[in-house]
Structures are given as structure tokens and as C-alpha cells.
Structure 1
Amino acid sequence: MTEVRTRFAPSPTGYMHIGNLRTALYAYLIAKKNNGKFILRIEDTDQERYVEGAIDVIYNTLKLVGLQHDEGPDIGGPYGPYVQSQRREIYSQYAKKLIDIGGAYYCFCSKERLDALRQECERKGIPFKYDGHCRNISREEAEERIKRGEQYVIRQKIPATGTTSFHDEVFGTITVSNDSLDDNILIKSDGMPTYNFANVVDDHLMKITHVVRGSEYLSSTPKYNLLYKAFGWEIPTYIHLPLIMKPHGGKLSKREGDASFEDFYNKGYLKEAIINYIALLGWSPGTDEEIFTLEELKQRFSIEGLSKSPAVFDINKLRWMNGEYIRSMSLEEFNELAMPYYKKAIKRQDIDYMKLSRLLQTRTEVLGEIPDNIDFIEELPDYDVNMYANKKMRTDLNNSLEYLKKAYEALQGVDKWDDEHIHEALFKLIAELGVKNGQVLWPVRTAVSGKQFTPGGAIELSSLLGKEETLRRIKIGIEKLSNV
């Protein structure tokens, strides 16, 4: 049985886009589900768009999320080099071979001629297509012109008649008329190959059995198949993935600045949650299950579960899933992950961070939001006194002032400062006053936090802040209310 071999072949043109990472994930899962090999290849033929450091981003991202490649530029393998710019001679040899067998030709058209042709197509309202001007130049004439130093490209010679069909595992059989295809460039004037040529040569030489890529390449696949057929090579299994769309339309695009994996990771989304969510953007397990580890995905993933319909990237669903992962952790694990975010917001040395983590873990969906949710611990914000008025809690500025004064007195008498004794003191006061719980607890919570939304209630926050700081903040609240 032939070994399953998949590849992830990103261009080093920036950050790891969500769509790129999904392609890598699916290619990895298909290989691992079938005990095959997952190959990393860097497609850097577009030197104008090359971004310094982008290759390191690719390595670091794959390593971080656990998509370990079996062959690649950094670890080698039997079919290297795995960087396209280092394979120029290989492409040149195969391009010349393709010319010899009649599948390609030299083209000497100037930029000016092509621009004029493009303008003519625009004037007629038709898509640009090369007119085959150099298609019938003899081999002898072409070689003579090359010797004279004329610039040239090598173009694919598409059959003028007939059709080309191919089968895709997601989209089914697709047939196109050959006369709709362009004689696209295979080797540019600088000697570098285009993606259209390099990916076919590399996939063949690297023995790739399953080609996983975005559906935007469906329209180019007939050209690739004609190259395979011209060389007499076996055509791989095609798996084109549906687009990932924004909630309000338009596809996610790295060029348009849509969020990358790194963006989400730096905001405090967990790598496990991101991978889990991306796995579901175009694939379904056939059940209502949504939470999968990478190991579980290796077992459950199937090509049959892929959809041809565009997937919608829903940030709220990712938030929810991230929250599920956070809640499934042990308290100790959450505390360790949250600590860098605590340190951003809190400089005080007297905070019980495990206590803070107990308050935050069930209320946190994204780690990066922790500093804004706990900044009041370090310093009481200058809040609006009208926050004390809350219809649901049945508080207004007058009764808040009255109950805050009494809470101050009650808390002054607490000897052992912990949740249990603070609770005992405040609920004893509530019983004596004969009022609703919120009429005392809301003013206290507002006074100690200065915020409408907090990771805990009056009792937990008071316990966390300590007796001296709690009483100081309640006193500030009393002063604010007294001055209204």
C-alpha cells in the first residue's frame, strides 16, 4: 500500500493566517490518521512579497500547536531541499523537458505588448488571456533569440481544444473547456518558477499523495493536471477546502489584515482551543461533539466529514470554546497561565493569587482580558457615584449611603478577615436591617471595586483586598455619597 504523504507549503509573506493554519492542520490529520508523513515545504518563489522572519513564524507556530512535520527545511529528509528558492535548477530542468515534449514554449513578449493586450481585453470587457503570440516560434529561433540576450519566460502550452477534468474529494468531478485556460507562465524572466509550475514538480518529486489546499485553487487545478499528464506522472488525490468567511461576508484574508494565529494567541486564546475551533471550520465529526484534543482529532478526522460550503469564522464561538478549555483546567494550571496577566495589573505583594484564580477561572473566557478585569485591585478607579443606584438591587444614593456606613461599622469589628467571617458580619447586618441582600452587598461591592462588573461579589473582593484596604475604600465611598 502506498504511504500517504501530505504537505503544508506556506509562503513566507507574513504571519500564520487562520486559513493557512487550517490547511496545515487538515494535511497533518490526513497524514497521521493514515500513519503517513506530513511534509513542510517553504514556497518562497514570490521574492517581492518575502517578509523577513516569516519562516521562523511558520516553524514556531507549527511547533507551538503540536503539528510536527516529518520532513522539512529545518530537519531535512530524502526529497530536499524543501525551500523552493533552493530548487531553481530542478525547475529549469523540468521546464526544458516540458518544452522538449511539447507541453511548454519560450515566450519573448515584452511588458509593453502584454500591457497593451491586457488593456484591449479590458476594453472588450473580457478576462485577460495570453493570445499565444509566441506559441509557434520554432525551437531554433527561440534558442537563437536567447543567445542574443533577449528576455523570455516559459509558458505552458494548453491544448486549444477539448476539455480537462479532475476529481476533488470535497467538490466532486470538475470539467473545464481547455480554450478557457490561459497559457500561464511556468518560469519567470528571472529564472524563478511560478507557483503553478513549482507546486506540481515538487509534489511529484516529494511523492505527495494527497494535496490539501484552499478552494481558490480549484480553477487552476486543470492546468496542474495537464502538467501531470504531459510528464506522464500520477495525479495526486485533491482535497480543496471551503473558504473561511467573515460573519458579515467576505473571506478572511491575510492581506486585508484579518487576525492571524499569533494575534489570537497573544490576546490570551489557548493554542488548544484555537486548533480545536479551526478544525471545525469546514469539518464535522458527524455528531454534536465540539471539544477535541489534537490526539482525538487524529483518530476522528475524516475527508468525508469535510464540507464544500464556506465556513463562518465566529469570534464568539471561539471565545466560548476558549472558556470551556479554561474551565476544564485544574485551579493550579489556570493560576500558572493567569500569572503573567496578574503581574501586568497588580504590583501589590499581599494578594492571594490562588484566591483570585478561584474567583476568575469560571468567569474568564480570554486570558488577555484579565488585566482590565482586575485593575481595580491595584488602585481604586475614579468611578461615577451613580453606580450605587441599581434598580435590580433596590438601591439608590440615599440608602446606599446609609447601608455603607453601617457596613463600615460591622466590618470594623471583624477580627479574622476571611470569606466566612466577612459573610457572617454582613449577613448579620442585613438581618438586623430587615433589607434585601443586594441593598447592602451592592454598595459594598461598588465601594471596594469602583466597577459595575467584577470577578466576585462584595464578600470575596473584601477578603481579597484585606481589611485595611477594604475599609479605606468604603470610607471613600461614604465620602462620595455624602458629597452628592
Structure 2
Amino acid sequence: MKKPKVRFAPSPTGPLHIGGARSALFNYLFAAHQGGELVLRIEDTDLERSRQEYEEEIVASLKWLGINWTEGIEAGGDNGPYRQTERLDIYRHYTQQLLDQGLAYYCFCSQAELEQERQEQFARGITPHYGGKCNHLSEAEVKERLEAGEPASIRFRVPQNTIYVVNDLVRGQVSFESENSGDFIIVKSDGIPVYNFAVVIDDVLMGITHVVRAEEHLSNTPRQLMLYDALRFSRPEFAHISLILGSDRQKMSKRHGATSLIQYRELGYLPEALLNFLALLGWAPEGEQEIMSKEEIIAAFTLERVSKSPAVFDIDKLNWMNQQYIKKIATADLKNMLLPYINQTEYAADVAALPETKQLVLVDAIRDHLVCLSDVADLLDVFFRETEYEEQALVVLQKENVLPVLEMFKDEFPDYLEPQELQQFLKGIVKKTKLKPKDVYMPLRSALSGRTHGPELPFLIYIWGKDNTLVRLEKTIQKITDL
């Protein structure tokens, strides 16, 4: 069996969005599972909106996510160029072939004429399509108008009474009738080919065996099949994967939060977690396992297990998954990953002033509270800001037996400050006071941090050190006395 060759062909008109990243990932996984190849091609024929910086951002985002390609942009290969604007001579060759065979023709209709025709068809309840005004112009008339410099696009002559069938690897058999499509433009008046024309030529010349793309491209497929047949090209196999919806089951948009990969990267989501999450958007492995390495996903991935139903982007699940990956990172590595985010906070100098051992303990103290790496900015103030009491903490501090607990803590506070030994010290206070653990830990937490939740007390106390801890305690004892 021939190994598959697939492609991801983004337009550099904006950053790589979640939907595009999922399409790229499914292509990569499908090829990698069978030892095939992935081509990265840039479809930049939208001259007004395409930008070099977007292409660079797309390439960087794919690399960050862990998607590797074997041919195309940066990788090179024997089938380039890999930007459509660098392939115009290739498209002209096939355009002329269709013109010579009478399968395409010049159209001189203006935008105003086409819009008028469109509105008239709407008024008559007809699906808008080109009526064929220019499809019978004589060669002499065409030549005369072209030589006069009259703008002209090139249209494909749609076969009549023909049914086009796609045996889609995800959606099953889908049929299209040619009557539903008027003669369509394949080359615009500026000489730039349209998407449906260029993509067919590129896929064939680059040896693409399978086209794996989003469901929204299914409507383009009949036009592409017409062109495959007209050019006598072999058709690839098609697989149209479902749309990604927001939690409200509407198409993903900015109102659902971050939509581009670069935004998730900046927030501090881990590429391994995002890849794992995206793989499960519309695909399910056998069994119940959800946390999977890239290698495990590749080994399990098949198009047979890709769902026809829309995938729902569940940010809570992504957050949970990212937390699981953060928990597995070695402390020293996690510290290095957090430093860029720490350095953007007002506490950068405070963290830098800590000995290395305390920096590592600080990382372990906040690890379980990190949903993404940027959360570190909200977790540092408890370590470095003066005590500010939350309302719930003040309620705790006014309870009976609080002062005796605080006084015992102050009087017996040890000189050694290792977190494990501090944990034993706190257990000793529980034992001596004969109180429930929560009636010791909660007053101490409220007194020292001003909060009822946060990092474990031994970690906090170790970072503060003895002198700072006792200053905080004295402040609270005085506050209680004044209440």
C-alpha cells in the first residue's frame, strides 16, 4: 500500500487559529501513523491580506505545537516553489490548456453586471449563479476585446447533467449535481488564480494522496472534482473533519476567548497539552485514556475514529489537561519556564533575591495552583506583599482559641526552617492544643497571609523566613487585640 502524502496549506492572512491548527495536526497524525509525508504549502494568492509576518508566525506556531513536515516551506523539496504566488507560470500553463480545449473561456462581465444579475436571481427565488453571458463569444471578439485592454477573468465551463460523488473518509458518500453550479472563475482579471483552481494543480503536482481538511471546504469539492476531471488528473481521497464549536455550540470566535495558537503560547499553555487537547477535538482513541503523549496519539490515530459531529472546545478541559502536564515538569525546568512570566511582574527582583533553594520551593508551592504559566503573576503577592486581610480571614481570626494558637506558634517557633520540619512543627501544635487540624491551620494561614486559601503553610513560612513570619504574626496579634 502506498504511503499517504498530505498537506497543510494555510493562507498567511492572520495568525494560525485553533481550527487551522487542528487541521494541520490531523494531517500530521494521519501521515505519521502510516509513515507518510506532510507538505507545508502557503496559499498566498490573497494579495491584499497576505503578510510575510503571518507566514512566519504560522511556521513558528506549528513548530511550537510539535508538528513536523518533510516537504515545503523551510524544508524544501522537489515539488516547489511552495508559495502559490511563486507558481503563477505553472497555473498559466494549465489555464491555457483548458482554454485550448474549450473547457474554459474569457469573461468580460463587470462586477456591476454580475451584481445586477445576482440581485435579479434573488428576486426570482433562484440560487445565484453565473448565467453564461460570455460563454459563446467568438474567438475574434475575444481577441479584439483583449487587445483593447478590456479586463477579463477566465471561467471554467461546468459540465451539464453530471453528478459528482465524493467517498469521503469521514462523512461517507456525498453527491453533488453540476446544475447547482454556474460556470465559475478560475483566474481573476489580475491574472491570479482562485483557490479552487490553484489547489487542484498544487495537490496533483505535489503528489498529495489524501486531502484532510475542515468540513467548511466540502462545498468546494464539486468544483475541484470538475477540474480534476477536466485536466485528466487522478483524484486524491478526501476527508472532511468537523467544525469546532464554542461551549455555546456556535462556531469558534473571539467571544469564546483566545482563538490563535500564539495567544495560548503567550498565556503559558504547554504545547504538549494543547496538542493532546486538539487531537481529542473530533477524534477519540479506543479506551478511556485522555492524557496521551504525541507518540501515543500517533500510534492510535486513524480517520475511522474521527467523528462526523462538531467538536466542542471545552476550555475547562484544556485547563485541566494543562495542569496535569504542569504537575509532571521537573521543578528546575518549571522554574525556568516561569521566569519570563515572573520577570514581567512587580516581584521579579524579590524572586531573584531568593536563594536558589527557596526559588525551587516557591515553584513547588505554586505548582498545583497553576492552570497556565502566566498564572504565576497572581500567585506571587502572597509571598511578597504585606498582609492584607480578606473578609473571610477576619471572620476566622475572631473565633475562640485563635490567640492561644498564635501565641503558641510564636513562642515555640523553631530556628530551622525546612518545609518538612515546619510541617512536623505544625502537627506538634495540633497535638498540644488538642484542637482539630483545621482549627490550627486556618487561623495560622489567616494570620500570616490574610487569606483562607493558598499555598501550603510550610512553603509560605519557609519562603518568608523566621523574622518576616514573626513580623506578620505580631501584626495580626495586634489587630486581633484591637478588634
Equivalent residue letter for 1:288: E
In structure 2, what is the Cα distance between the partners aligned to 1:257 and 1:156? Answer: 41
Q: Secondary structure at the match of 1:240?
A: strand
Matches within 5 A, 1:27-426: 27-253=27-253, 258-343=258-343, 344=345, 345-348=347-350, 349-350=353-354, 352-380=358-386, 382-389=388-395, 395=396, 397-399=398-400, 402-403=403-404, 405-407=406-408, 409-411=410-412, 413-426=413-426
Q: Does 1:441 align with 2:445?
A: no
CA contact (8 A) 1:407 1:444 kept: no
SS in 2 for 1:247: coil
CA gap of 1:42–1:110, structure 2 versus 1, over 3 A, is same
C-alpha displacement of 1:444: 1.8
Distance 1:164 1:419, change over 3 A: closer
Q: Distance in 1 between matches of 2:101 and 2:254?
A: 39
CA distance in 1, matches of 2:438, 2:255: 51
TM-score (norm 1): 0.92
Can you list the C-alpha shifts for 1:98-137, whole angstroms capped at 9, x where unaligned? 1222322111001111121222234345432111111222
Moved more, 227-236 or 170-179: 170-179
Q: Distance in 1 between matches of 2:401 and 2:113?
A: 81
Give the Å deviation of 1:14: 1.2
Q: Deviation string for 1:172-228 (max 9, x for gaps)?
A: 111112111132211111111111111011111111111111111111101100100
| Cα deviation code 1:138-164 (max 9, x no counterpart) | 233222211111101111211232322
On the 8 A contact 1:401/1:481 being kept in 2, the answer is no
Find the aligned partners of 1:121 and 1:451 in 2 and give their Cα distance: 68
Q: Distance in 1 between matches of 2:157 and 2:424?
A: 86
CA distance in 2, matches of 1:313, 1:198: 32
Q: 1:7 to 1:253 in 2, by over 3 A?
A: farther
Deviations 1:449-484 (A, max 9, x none): 23343122x333112211111111222223333443
CA contact (8 A) 2:246 2:256 kept: no
1:384 positional shift:
3.2
Contact 1:403–1:440 (8 Å) recurs in 2: no
Aligned counterparts of 2:75 and 2:313: Cα–Cα separation in 1:
33
Instruction: Give per-residue Cα distances to partners, 1:400-448, cap 9 Å, x unaligned.
Output: 752464145335x422223355445444444444332222321221232
CA contact (8 A) 2:37 2:70 kept: yes
Unaligned runs of 5+ in 1: 390-394
Secondary structure of the 1:129 match is coil
Conserved in 2, the CA contact under 8 Å of 1:210 and 1:239?
yes
* CA distance in structure 2 between the partners assigned to 1:102 and 1:141 by the alignment: 15
CA distance in 2 between counterparts of 1:309 and 1:147 reads 52
CA distance in 2, matches of 1:479, 1:134: 92
Is the Cα contact below 8 Å between 1:101 and 1:230 reproduced in 2? no
**Residue in 1 that maps onto 2:464:** 465
- Cα pair distance change 1:227/1:397, threshold 3 Å: same
Question: Which AA in structure 1 matches 2:465?
Answer: G
Equivalent position amino acid for 1:93 in 2: H
Show the counterpart of 2:24: 24
Residues 45, 84 of structure 1: 8 Å contact kept: yes
* Amino acid paired to 1:366: C
- Partner SS for 1:212: strand
Letter in 2 for 1:328: K
Identity over aligned pairs, percent? 36
Counterpart residue type for residue 304 of structure 1: E
CA deviations over 1:293-319 (Å, ceiling 9, x no partner): 222222221121111111111111111
Decide whether the 8 Å contact of 1:380 with 1:448 is kept in 2: no
- Deviation, 1:256, is 9.0
Q: Specify the code of the residue in structure 2 equivalent to 1:347.
A: A
Aligned amino acid, residue 43 of structure 2: E
The 2-side partners of 1:45 and 1:64 are apart by 26
Does residue 476 of structure 2 align to residue 477 of structure 1? Answer: yes
Q: Kindly indicate whether the alpha-carbon contact (under 8 Å) linking 1:213 and 1:239 is maintained by their aligned counterparts in 2.
A: yes
User: Partners in 1 of 2:158 and 2:112 — Cα distance?
Assistant: 23
| Counterparts in 2 of 1:435 and 1:291: CA distance versus 1, 3 Å | closer
Compared CA separation, residues 423 and 403, structure 1 to 2 (3 A): farther
Q: Is the 8 A contact 1:414 1:421 kept in 2?
A: no
In structure 2, relative to structure 1, the CA distance for the partners of 1:400 and 1:336 (3 Å cut) is farther
CA contact (8 A) 2:388 2:449 kept: no
Alpha carbons 1:269, 1:366 under 8 Å: kept? yes
CA distance in structure 2 between the partners assigned to 1:280 and 1:172 by the alignment: 21
Size of the aligned set, in residue pairs, is: 477
- Which whole-Å CA distance do the structure 1 matches of 2:135 and 2:331 have between them? 70
For residues 480 and 462 of structure 1, what CA distance do their matches in structure 2 show? 20
**Counterpart AA for 2:361:** K
1:384 and 1:365, CA in 2 relative to 1: closer, same or farther beyond 3 A? closer
Q: CA 1:254 to 1:364, structure 2 compared with 1: closer, same or farther past 3 Å?
A: closer
**Larger CA deviation: 44-53 vs 189-198:** 44-53
TM-score (norm 2): 0.92
- Contact residue 242 and residue 308 of structure 1 kept, 8 A: yes
Say if 1:264 and 1:101 are closer, same or farther in 2 by CA, change over 3 A: same
Distance 1:320 1:424 in 2: 31
Q: CA deviation at 1:48?
A: 1.9
Please tell me the residue identity of whatever aligns with 1:355.
Answer: V
